[in-house]
């Protein structure tokens, strides 16, 4: 599982004061983003144990079409090595009016991608292999190996974006999409399929009151959503969005006799992770928020349920 790759292609420019300022505002390491992502793809290609790769969104810096096409090329190389790849969008990837290129003397807008273009660009990375596709979002169900259904779920709110505001970072499921997901989970249970989840936003709090203080990192109605997933036998979900590396168990067995447990792997920005290690900070399995605060009570070991 990889996430928050935030690819920035060299071809969009890396000169001038605006690019320097952009570099200083975040931890995405845009100047070596392409090298980092190429190295990652190379490692995945060489890893014989990897059978399929899931990508939990934020594939690009800010949804630039050119960056999506560069990511498509890298993911294509992984697939050419015999491994399947499955993606979902992140909040940076679609209808993002911050999409820009750097000209040396400044910066200028470049085309972002629409939901339909995202589906088309990543057709070979989930959408064309889908057993089912949600008509109301970019969610789908695939079967990467026989007996395992992958619920790739679109938790983004890109339909709220416009040129006057920064792209929406919030996560939620549309009512019709959550109904569709529940219908397919019920079918998976009926057919005795194992299920895992893949989405950009968290579906469990990774520290107390996360939804209250960092509301855009966890989907709306997360308690009901995660309980429903657990009810249908989903024992593991993979997410991205927040710069944290943490397994979070969700215990629901006390609520009803039939609700099972759900565990979520909450991964963080690939590039932030590397930045943190370059900065000699403790990074492995230490839970950090995107704002640099160490979360209370970090899980130091993966917890298996």
Which residues are near Fe ion by CB under 5 A?
A: 58, 90-91, 241
Nearest distance from residue 272's CB to Fe ion, in Å? 11
CA–CA distance, 148 with 163 (Å, rounded to integer):
40
Question: Packing angle between helix 222-231 and helix 175-190, nearest 10 degrees?
Answer: 20
Q: How far is the CB of 235 from Fe ion (least distance, A)?
A: 24
Give least dist CB 275 to Fe ion, A.
16
Nearer Cβ to Fe ion, position 34 or 168? 168
Nearer to Fe ion, 58 or 66 (CB): 58
CA distances to 70, 107, 137 from 271, rounded to whole Å, are 17, 23, 28
Of residues 22 and 58, the one with the C-beta less far from Fe ion: 58
Q: Would you say 172 or 231 has its CB closer to Fe ion?
A: 172
Residue 302 burial (CB count, 10 A): 11
- Closest residue to bound Fe ion by CB: 241
Please, is 69 exposed, middle or buried when counting C-beta atoms within 10 Å of its C-beta (0-12, 13-18, 19+)? Answer: middle
3-state SS of 205-219 is CCCCCHHHHCHHHEC
The beta-strand segments (E) located in 176-245 are 194-199, 236-239
Task: Concatenate the DSSP letters of all residues of 283-298 into one string.
Answer: -TT--B-TTSPBPSS-
Using the minimum distance from each CB to Fe ion, give the nearer residue, 66 or 267.
267
Identity of the residue, 57 or 250, whose beta carbon is nearer to Fe ion in the bound complex: 57
Q: Are 164 and 95 in contact (CB under 8 A)?
A: no
Q: How far is the CB of 85 from Fe ion (least distance, A)?
A: 19
Q: What is the C-alpha to C-alpha distance for residues 39 and 237, in angstroms, rounded to an integer?
A: 26
CB of 92 to Fe ion, least distance (A): 6
Q: Nearest distance from residue 37's CB to Fe ion, in Å? A: 16
Quote the radius of gyration of the chain (alpha carbons, Å): 19
């Amino acid at each position: 599982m990889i996430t928050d790759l935030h690819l920035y292609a060299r071809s969009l420019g890396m000169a001038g004061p605006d690019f320097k300022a952009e570099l200083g505002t975040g931890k995405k390491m845009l100047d070596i983003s392409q090298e980092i992502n190429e190295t990652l793809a190379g490692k995945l290609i060489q890893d014989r144990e990897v059978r399929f790769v899931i990508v939990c969104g934020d594939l690009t810096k800010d949804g630039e079409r050119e960056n999506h096409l560069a990511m498509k090329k890298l993911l294509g190389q992984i697939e050419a090595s015999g491994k399947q790849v499955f993606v979902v969008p992140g909040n940076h990837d679609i209808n993002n009016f911050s999409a820009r290129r750097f000209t040396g003397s400044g910066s200028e807008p470049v085309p972002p991608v629409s939901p339909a273009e995202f589906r088309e660009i990543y057709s070979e990375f989930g959408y064309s292999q889908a057993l089912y596709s949600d008509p109301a979002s970019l969610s789908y169900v695939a079967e990467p190996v026989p007996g395992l259904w992958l619920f790739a779920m679109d938790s983004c709110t890109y339909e709220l974006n416009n040129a006057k505001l920064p792209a929406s970072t919030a996560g939620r499921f549309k009512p019709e999409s959550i109904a569709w997901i529940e219908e397919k989970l019920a079918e998976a249970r009926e057919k005795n399929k194992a299920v895992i989840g893949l989405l950009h936003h968290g579906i469990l709090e990774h520290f107390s009151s996360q939804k209250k203080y960092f509301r855009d990192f966890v989907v709306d109605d997360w308690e009901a959503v995660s309980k429903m997933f657990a009810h249908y036998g989903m024992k593991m979900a993979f997410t991205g969005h927040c710069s944290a590396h943490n397994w979070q168990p969700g215990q629901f067995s006390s609520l009803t006799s039939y609700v099972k447990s759900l565990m979520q792997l909450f991964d963080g920005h690939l590039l932030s992770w590397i930045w943190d290690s370059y900065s000699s900070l403790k990074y492995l399995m230490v839970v950090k928020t995107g704002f640099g605060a160490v979360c209370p009570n970090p899980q130091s070991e993966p917890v298996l349920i």
